[in-house]
Amino acid sequence: MENRTSVEIGNDAGRAADNVVAALEAQIVSGQLKNKAPLPAERELMEQFGTSRTVIREAISKLSSLGLVETRPRFRPIVRKPDYATVLHACGNVVQHLLTDKTGIKNLYDSRVFMERALVRDAAMSARKEDIVDLKAALENNRNAIPDSLEFYKTDVAFHGVLYRIPRNPIFPAIHEGYTSWLAPQWDQMLRSPERNEVNYIAHKAILDAILERDPAAAEEALTNHLKAAWEFVRVTFDWGEE
């Protein structure tokens, strides 16, 4: 009952799982396997593809690391059509290994500063009316949350998030999610206080004011000051070495 003739071109010792991966991949993107639906049972797949469960499991593992299915320990894999957040999430597992020392964190933080400098400049030059509305609303939420550090953290992230949405490129919000999930958790919450919140609120306000003035240079400078100050505060608090 074994159809071993399914040898594709170049029967190179390539993994049989790759064929299964490719097939399921096609079924997922074509919608034949619907999003959010569970994958067929392993024993069914092994019959469907004429291979052993070993291969099926390896294929599912690959699909999982590709972000095409979502696996939980004892549950059926769930089909998931990939999006930009998926990519960043997949990166996260690897990124973690690069943040073990201060250098790694600094590099990532610097890249964020670089990114957001460009973002605020872009915002100052080409933010639409809706964007301005969103920014003002985010800033207002920011101000109201000053007494509550946890809430302020959320509004802080949200304010920056608006900046990432202004270019209307879905990649950018995903990057933002990456930064906040990789960079912040280590210290961002613990060293907040109403006083710090006030400082950050003022910084945000300065950024928004510059955007309203349509002044890219001022916006960039305000953003830079904001993030540099935040880094400096973290650096001193944790007694990291000099720059």
Contact footprint for a copy of itself (CB under 8 A): 4, 7-15, 25, 29, 54, 57-58, 60-62, 64-68, 70-74, 77, 80, 82-84, 86-87, 89-95, 97-98, 100, 107-108, 110-111, 114-115, 117-118, 121-122, 167, 169-172
Residue 66 touches which of a copy of itself, DNA, none (CB < 5 to 8 A by kind)?
Answer: a copy of itself
Nearer to DNA, 40 or 167 (CB): 40
Q: Between 44 and 83, whose beta carbon lies closer to DNA?
A: 44
Return the one option of a copy of itself, DNA, none that residue 183 interacts with (CB less than 5 to 8 A, by type). Answer: none
- Residue closest to 206 by CA, chosen among 139, 153, 127, 149: 139
Q: How far apart are CA 78 and CA 93, in angstroms?
A: 20
Torsion 177-182-183-186 (CA) sign: positive
Least distance between a copy of itself and beta carbon 65 (Å): 3
**From DNA, a copy of itself, none, interface partner of 16 (C-beta below 5 to 8 A by class):** DNA
Residue 177 binds: one of DNA, a copy of itself, none (C-beta under 5 to 8 A by kind): none
Summarize as ranges the residues that interact with DNA (CB under 7 A). 1-2, 13-17, 39, 41-44, 51-55, 57-58, 71, 73-76
